A and B are shown apart, each in its own frame.
Chain A
Amino acid sequence: MNNSKPNEKICSQHKNTYILQLALWTLAWLVSTALLRFGAEYMWEFQPAYSITALMTHLALGAAVIMVNVKHLANLDELQRKITMDAMGITLGVGLIAGIAYEQLEDIKLISFEPEISHLIMLMAFTYIVSILIGNRKYQ
């Protein structure tokens, strides 16, 4: 029987690398979002060529974020992946249900302002964070 201490190296360095990559690509995507929104107005005065370039860059960075996120998910161990996937599922459900209900509020005259997509994104981010925290606590 093997009584020696296992010395197999954990893949934590790989995991940290993917988390760092994900953070950097997300930051780049966020900067491109700001550039797309404010650059057209304050930097190139709505010239279509610059706006299209900024839009393409924004979409390409978004695609990179998705790909790095998929790699990050594949690199998690099975419990971490379950917690993350559960949180994603709950977030998708909340986003869909709350998003449709929120969109109806103006139509049925319960609110006087136009629903903003940013409110939905904030709700989804909050839901995801809370779901991750609850999932981690559940399996502590």
Chain B
Amino acid sequence: MKNRLKVLRAERDWTQADLANALAVSRQTANAIEKGKFDPSLPLAFKIAKLFNLTVEEIFFDEQMT
């Protein structure tokens, strides 16, 4: 699954560590989600969406459907 996390993070001038801290996950996890290597659970996806004041669909998208 692809996502816009890197762009959203860059817009706010956040590091991966900042994002990881905000989500209460490890930097490894934040990095893996950002790179699309690991798909977050639904609760974590909603937490990410809430952090950026966006919907889950505005951040995550299925590359086969685009």
A54 to chain B, nearest CB (A): 40
Known: A6-B51, A140-B31. A77 touches B25 (CB 8 A): yes
Q: Is B59 an interface residue (CB 8 A)?
A: no
Q: Is A57 an interface residue (CB 8 A)?
A: no
B18 to chain A, nearest CB (A): 5
Q: How large is the interface on A (under 10, 10 to 19, 20 to 34, 35 or more residues)?
A: 20 to 34
Interface locus among A8-16, A24-32, A37-45, A97-105: A8-16
Known: A136-B28, A140-B28, A140-B31. A6 touches B38 (CB 8 A): no
A-side interface residues toward B, CB under 8 Å? 1-3, 5-12, 77-80, 82, 136, 138-140
Question: How many residues of chain B have a CB within 8 Å of chain A?
Answer: 26
Q: Which of these, A9, A78, A138, contacts B44 with CB under 8 Å? A: A78
28 contacts between A and B (CB under 8 A): A2-B12, A2-B51, A3-B11, A5-B12, A5-B13, A5-B18, A6-B19, A6-B51, A7-B21, A8-B22, A8-B23, A10-B24, A10-B25, A10-B26, A11-B24, A12-B26, A77-B25, A77-B29, A78-B40, A78-B41, A78-B44, A80-B26, A80-B29, A82-B38, A139-B29, A139-B32, A140-B28, A140-B32
Known: A6-B22, A6-B51, A139-B37. A79 touches B32 (CB 8 A): yes
